Amino acid sequence: MAARTGKVSASLQLFQPPPAGGDQPGGPLGGPITFMFNPNQLSLSKSANWIPHVARSAEDVGVAEFSGSGPRTLSLEVFLDATSSHDKSVQDRVEKLLTCVVPTKASIAAKAPSPPWVKFSWGQFQTVSFYSYVSQINATYKLFDPDGTPLRAACSLSLTEISGSTPGQNPTSGALSAQRVHQLVSGDSLEMLAYREYGDPTQWRVIAEANDIDDPVRLKPGRQILLPAIDTLDVMAVD
């Protein structure tokens, strides 16, 4: 008879944020925060982002345009209990969890304040193990020693995936969007497309030059135009 595998504890590892704004974290910040009790439930979600095209004078709505996949989000609850030891372990763990939403000392010193990156881990459950940031922490204290020391707490955490240079992200976040083709619909303008693609409506000339558009006011619905990648904007401006 095969031996049973021992219990694997869930944990949360904190990492230094990238020193130069890259898509990989720095070194670990101490050891992992090991859960006293494994979660009874995890909530994982992921979304797809679509842009609806609605023209004021049209009877039917236009074809929605896919603008990218949203990050994974993970919600979980950490249960803490020190009723058997009557020590400060609950308080200490909550305080360490709270550091997940506070800029690290190294990032402050580098004049690029950022909270740590985190990764939830639980044995072979790889689907929920990804680099993320903690967007919210709620701690509910439920039992106390006579001297006020918290002995029991439930902490809910919301983690959002850090997707690095995934194509389709808002370029203002520092990511690069992939070169793609857009089919014009009624109501489109180059300024609107430039704002949606690059976060800057003044970049409409880049789209015009890439598609040999002489009159940006007269855009024919149904025409397919090229939206250059954001990392080519500076090159095209120089040319």
| Predicted local distance difference test score (pLDDT) of residue 180 | 66
Give the rounded percent of residues in the chain with a pLDDT score beyond 90.
Answer: 44
Distance CA 113, CA 153 (A): 29
Q: For 24-47, what is each residue's pLDDT tens digit?
A: 788 899 889 999 999 999 999 999
Average pLDDT, the chain: 82
Delineate the domains of the chain, giving CATH numbers in brackets. Answer: 11-161 (2.40.30), 177-238 (3.10.350.10)
For the chain (239 residues), the mean pLDDT of every run of 10, in chain order, is 63 87 80 92 93 73 81 95 95 95 90 92 92 96 96 96 52 42 81 78 86 85 80 49
Sequence-ordered strand ranges (E) for 87-236: 117-121, 131-144, 150-161, 180-183, 224-227
Q: Which residue has the tokens 């300024």?
A: 191
For 37, 121, 123, the CA distances from 5, given in Å and listed in that order, are: 17, 17, 11
> In sequence order, which ranges of the chain are alpha helices (DSSP H)?
89-98, 105-109, 190-198, 204-210, 233-238
DSSP calls for 10-26: -EEEEEPPPTTS-SS--
| Predicted local distance difference test score (pLDDT) of residue 21 | 62
Give the rounded percent of residues in the chain with a pLDDT score beyond 70.
Answer: 83
Q: For 179-224, what is each residue's pLDDT tens digit?
A: 567 778 887 888 888 877 777 788 888 888 888 888 888 888 878 8
Pull the structure tokens for residue 52.
């609806």
